[in-house]
Amino acid sequence: MRFSFTSEQDEFRTIVRRLLDARSPVSEVRRLMATDAGWDRDAWRKINQELGLTAIHVPEAYGGQGFGYAELAIVLEEMGRGLLCAPFFSTAALATTAILNAGTEAQKQALLPSIAAGDTTATLAFSEDDGGNDAASVAMTATSSGGAWRLDGVKSFVLDGHTADIVVVLARAPGSSGESGLSFFTVAGDAPGLQRRRLKTMDETRKLARLQFNGVEAQLLGEAGTAAAPFARTLQQAAVLLANEMVGGAEKLRQSALDYAKMRMQFGRSIASFQTTKHKAADMLADVELAKSAAYYAAAAVDENDDDMPAVASLAKACAAEAYLQTAIHAIQIHGGIGFTWDNDTHLWFKRAKSSEILFGDANHHRELMLQRWGH
């Protein structure tokens, strides 16, 4: 397993960062987060036309570029750094991964090319009103009648669920419980009987939605009753990708706080020379670098199908969640009074840090999962 990036991967990171710096400055982030959609479809198409980012880990047989999760993690780290407002995580990290894990060959051929081309956005709907992330919490029912499937129930906290063209839905057969009877389905975003409502959230840069299904016609994804294992793997991979996104945001905050400390003068000298500021800078550096190591290792574990990947995924998510939030706290404190104002940009990353901390389970949840997966 590699512990460093190749020269090609470093060059790829440079290209992605340059693109995002040009396409997603903070002024554009503020503009888009104030809209209902939270993103711009024309800008989304341009990003995908220039670098084909949604195609990164899609196999070439399905119109993708055929790279691995390490390259996808690089893209997400840079997007976390730039706080890109786009349905990339929901489309590439969640829906595409679920289709790759659960879909049949014919379904992959039908669904993935348009997603890889950037023409179709998608998301994964698995949580419900209780916010559960496990198979046992799924209450939505899928009923088969005459060869057709109908979905009834609610999915909540769905990333970009109010705008997605395709929704991959996790549901169960009536009367089943636990991990039994779970199946994946695909539903058109404008399907009759589907009501979509955007939720009010603290982090306006990442939109969430509540979806109400009332006899919505759906297409089975994969084989009926076999979604438990693909769902578990999809969430593990998503946790790894989210960890990489979070370390990108944490590194951005760390650097911005250090730049401000060097510039800010107090009592005739830079506040970067004060011992308390030095301590905070050292703590941030240690936290972020350790979180990076865990996130990068987890991405490599996914690519190599390592047996420890489930445990490493939880380790990376727990480490990155705490490092990102603590770095955000330090960054605001170093900025002083201005760090608490709307005009200062620090709060945008702080809110993303807080929302990402609990997305797919908080640090305590993942530490417990890590111990269970390692047999403790």
The answer as to whether 50 is a domain residue is yes
How many domains, the chain?
3
38 and 131, same domain (yes or no) = no
Structure tokens at 82: 């730039």
214 and 256, same domain (yes or no) = no
Distances (CA, A) of 18 to 61, 231, 237, 255, 349: 29, 34, 26, 17, 20
176 and 240, same domain (yes or no) = no
201 and 330, same domain (yes or no) = no
113 and 153, same domain (yes or no) = no
32 and 146, same domain (yes or no) = no
pLDDT at 1 over 80: no
Q: What is the mean pLDDT of residues 179-184?
A: 86
Distance CA(43)–CA(371), nearest Å, equals: 42
Q: Write the pLDDT tens digit of every residue in 72-94.
A: 999 999 999 999 999 999 999 99
135 and 19, same domain (yes or no) = no
The answer as to whether 84 is a domain residue is yes
Domain-terminating residue out of 171, 201, 225 = 225
93 and 131, same domain (yes or no) = no
The answer as to whether 365 is a domain residue is yes
Structure tokens at 95: 């829906």
pTM beyond cutoff 0.75? yes
The answer as to whether 2 is a domain residue is no
The answer as to whether 181 is a domain residue is yes
Domain-terminating residue out of 93, 120, 147 = 120
248 and 193, same domain (yes or no) = no
Torsion-angle region of 135 (φ positive above 0: left; ψ -120 to 50: alpha; else: beta): alpha
The confidence score (pLDDT) of residue 182 equals 92
- Identify the CATH number of the domain in which residue 267 sits: 1.20.140.10
333 vs 177 pLDDT, higher one:
333
The confidence score (pLDDT) of residue 178 equals 66
The answer as to whether 241 is a domain residue is yes
Provide the pLDDT confidence category of residue 265 given band limits of 50, 70 and 90: low
244 and 352, same domain (yes or no) = yes
- Domain housing 47: 7-120
Tell me which residue of 300, 294, 296 sits closest to 314, measured CA to CA: 294
78 and 23, same domain (yes or no) = yes
- Identify the CATH number of the domain in which residue 45 sits: 1.10.540.10
Dihedral over alpha carbons 200, 205, 206, 210 (to 10 degrees): 20
Dihedral over alpha carbons 273, 279, 280, 283 (to 10 degrees): 140
47 and 178, same domain (yes or no) = no
98-108 CB burial, b ≥16 within 10 A, e <16: bbbbbbeeebb
Please name the amino acid found at residue 35: T
pLDDT at 116 over 90: yes
- Identify the CATH number of the domain in which residue 158 sits: 2.40.110.10
Domain-terminating residue out of 207, 225, 243 = 225
The answer as to whether 341 is a domain residue is yes
